[in-house]
Structure 1
Amino acid sequence: MEVNDVDDCVYHKFSESKFIFLVLYVDGILLASNEIGLLHETKKFLSKKFEMKDLGDASFVLGIQIHRYRSRGILGLSQKRYINKVLKSLEIKEMQKIPYASAVGSLMYARVCTRPDITFIVGVLGRYLSNPDMNHWKAVKRVIRYLQRTKDYMLTYWRSDKLEIIGYSDSDFDECLDTRRSTSEFIACHQATVQAIWLRNFIAGLRVVNGIKRPLKIYYDNRAVVLNSNNNKSSTKSRHIERKFLIVKERIQSGIISIEHIGTNSMIASAH
């Protein structure tokens, strides 16, 4: 098997039109193939090399439940059970007994796996791990109550014959209540391009998609960033900001990505 160029935990093997993927995490393995014979052959090979147990069709992986709706071409990833477990251990009456870092860490796992909707708030809460106050605890409780209401949400993938990567980047101007400073803008724009290119390279490395439309389209809600990224002028003064600014411009000029403006309300609607 060959390893994916951008993810050392993903392996693939191709035999004419047949293919199989192996995803490895510590001592757990997921196998996915378009041909049942190749799947059994790979299982038999692995069983000879390693002591392992075949658990059949994957239903739970690392606390993530897999839902399949094959007739509709839909795959859903849910952390409802994990969230219920977190909620039970972080009940409001018990919050004072639980370290703040532990509570935020539990939220971070949900954010990384299936709940990108709590990414921003969990990132903010993570800034105060060393010295949280009651306001930060109250914010944690609000996130927990939100997860209680939305624990049935899942990350959904739809089957498509035409794959196109479209991203959304949400900047924040003068919104920090402590300093009245912006917490992103060009930084968010640069990071969005980094993630988009990684995703494109990962998908290309799978070798089961004919191609991905170029340039990669990213919608951004800050008009000034979009305008500056699409012209040859630079008004930034901080060296690390300017470096990221120039990287974004180079990616646009080389046709790797395109950045378009989108209103905040429109982006929120699209995200839901």
Structure 2
Amino acid sequence: MTKEFLSSRFSMMDMGEADVILGIRIKHESNEIEIFQSHYIEKVLKKFNYFDCTLVGTPIDTSEKLMPNNDQAVSQLEYSRVIGCLMYAKTCTRPDNAFAVAKLCKYTSNLGTQHWQAIQRILKYLKKTMDYSLTYTGEGAIYWASKKQTCITGLIVESEFMALAAAVKEADWLRNLIIEILLWSKPITPISIRCDSAATLAKAYR
């Protein structure tokens, strides 16, 4: 029904179920969708000569604290290339690398041997976990984000309130999207938003 509705409004061609989109492979099951980038990760590892590297079980060494580089800088261009490839994988199908990649992005303009070793560890971890994937079921997450606040707040409750406001905006956008889908049953039920801060909830209810 959806294809018939869209084809009545737009000029389109039905090419069947997608199996690759923007370097992301898609596997369709009866009630779930699995996405993965093992082919992309293999290509990245070969590009930077890490396909035959030793394997590690975690993307970051928690016992080592990354510090600003005070010695001679190493290849910034190559480091930036690796970071770019890792960021794409992290954004698409590998959120398990999100913290480690975000941490290393801070040192792109002034990196040293320590940072190179840390980024090499992520490549070794990706080699070990190339076949990892994301599986979306009917009730799985469709949006997630982990990022730093873009402005300075004086109180924790203010930071919590800003995060709550961002969640409300996203929920409102998704609700409007559902309303636009004519085949979706109406009326749309209210979207529940949860917050673990009593002070923030009190501020929101004012």
Same fold (TM over 0.5): yes
Whether 1:62 aligns to 2:28 is no
1:90 is matched with: 48
> Equivalents in 1 of 2:45, 2:79: separation in Å?
14
Contact 2:76 2:109 in 1 (8 A): no
Tell me: CA distance 1:55–1:117, structure 2 relative to 1, closer, same or farther (3 Å). Answer: same
The alignment's C-alpha RMSD in Å is 3.8
Correspondence 1:181-192 to 2 at 5 A: 189=160, 192=163
Q: Structure 2 stretches of 5 or more lacking a match?
A: 54-74, 149-155, 179-183
Q: Give the percent of matched residue pairs that are identical in Structure 1 and Structure 2.
A: 29
Tell me: CA distance 1:169–1:59, structure 2 relative to 1, closer, same or farther (3 Å). Answer: closer
> Equivalents in 2 of 1:142, 1:186: separation in Å?
37
1:112 is matched with: 91
Contact 1:64 1:77 in 2 (8 A): yes
> Equivalents in 1 of 2:90, 2:40: separation in Å?
12
> Equivalents in 1 of 2:141, 2:84: separation in Å?
33
Q: Find the partner of 1:205 among 147, 164, 176.
A: 176
Q: Find the partner of 2:194 among 195, 201, 217.
A: 217
Whether 1:138 aligns to 2:109 is no
Correspondence 1:1-272 to 2 at 5 A: 33=2, 36-41=3-8, 45-46=11-12, 55-70=15-30, 73-92=31-50, 99-160=78-139, 189=160, 192-193=163-164, 196-207=167-178, 208=184, 210-214=188-192, 216-218=193-195, 226=197, 229=200, 249-250=203-204, 253=205
> Equivalents in 1 of 2:162, 2:18: separation in Å?
33
Tell me: CA distance 1:190–1:115, structure 2 relative to 1, closer, same or farther (3 Å). Answer: farther
Q: Structure 1 stretches of 5 or more lacking a match?
A: 1-17, 19-32, 48-53, 172-184, 220-225, 232-248, 255-272
How many residue pairs get aligned? The number is 171
* Greater relative contact order structure (CA < 8 Å, 6+ sep): 2
> Equivalents in 1 of 2:120, 2:83: separation in Å?
10
Contact 2:38 2:131 in 1 (8 A): yes
> Equivalents in 2 of 1:155, 1:201: separation in Å?
25
2:70 is matched with: none
- Flag the structure with higher strand content: 1
- How far 1:204 sits from its partner (Å)? 1.0
Residues 121-171 of structure 1 show CA distances to partners (whole Å, capped at 9, x for unaligned) of: 1111111111111111111111111111222121221114xx899979799
Paired AA for residue 204 in structure 1:
R
Contact 1:66 1:75 in 2 (8 A): yes
Tell me: CA distance 1:97–1:204, structure 2 relative to 1, closer, same or farther (3 Å). Answer: closer
- Provide the TM-score with structure 2 as the length reference: 0.65
